[in-house]
Amino acid sequence: MAPIKVGDTIPDGTLAYFDENDQLEQVSVHSLAAGKKVVIFGVPGAFTPTCSMKHVPGFIEKSEELKSKGVEELLLISVNDPFVMKAWKKSYPETKNVKFLADGSATYTHALGLELDLAEKGLGVRSRRFALLVDNLKVVVANIESGGEFTVSSADDILAAL
């Protein structure tokens, strides 16, 4: 499948997360994004170095600035199970409105056309690193990385596009 691009409507899909009451929830991506301006950003894996030390912290640190520019939701997707995503979220002192969403079987990642085969590194199928600015389900900005790079998908890149 071709990667999602500017002008496309994001596919719907179901992702999992733990709510504030520590209950496992399933959520539709469209229910989080319809009628809103959102950033959907994806990473190859929870607790991996670039993801944990650069990509996610950037969105946490810039969340208020992004909100001031009209972004209503910051949706982090990783091909990990919801228990891993819960532990990863707890590893940050503050997550400032970033939702940690699990795509355990990479189903949604495949629907976006953004899977990355890291089997040779023992990681299996993962997500390419990306950041999408989405307005009422339409992709306005699609910053998709090649391989394991981190050059176009940061919070600062999305801020510059706003």
Sheet holding 37-43, edge to edge: 24-28, 14-18, 98-102, 73-78, 37-43, 130-135, 138-144
Q: Where does residue 132 rank: exposed (0-12), middle (13-18), buried (19+ CB within 10 A)?
A: buried
- Residue 77, both tokens: 């997707």
3-class secondary-structure state, position 39: strand
Give residue 139's Cα distance to chain centre. 14
Question: What's the CA gap between 39 and 58, in Å, rounded?
Answer: 13
Just list the catalytic residues: 51
- Residue 8, both tokens: 């496309």
Contact 110/103 with Cβ under 8 angstroms?
no
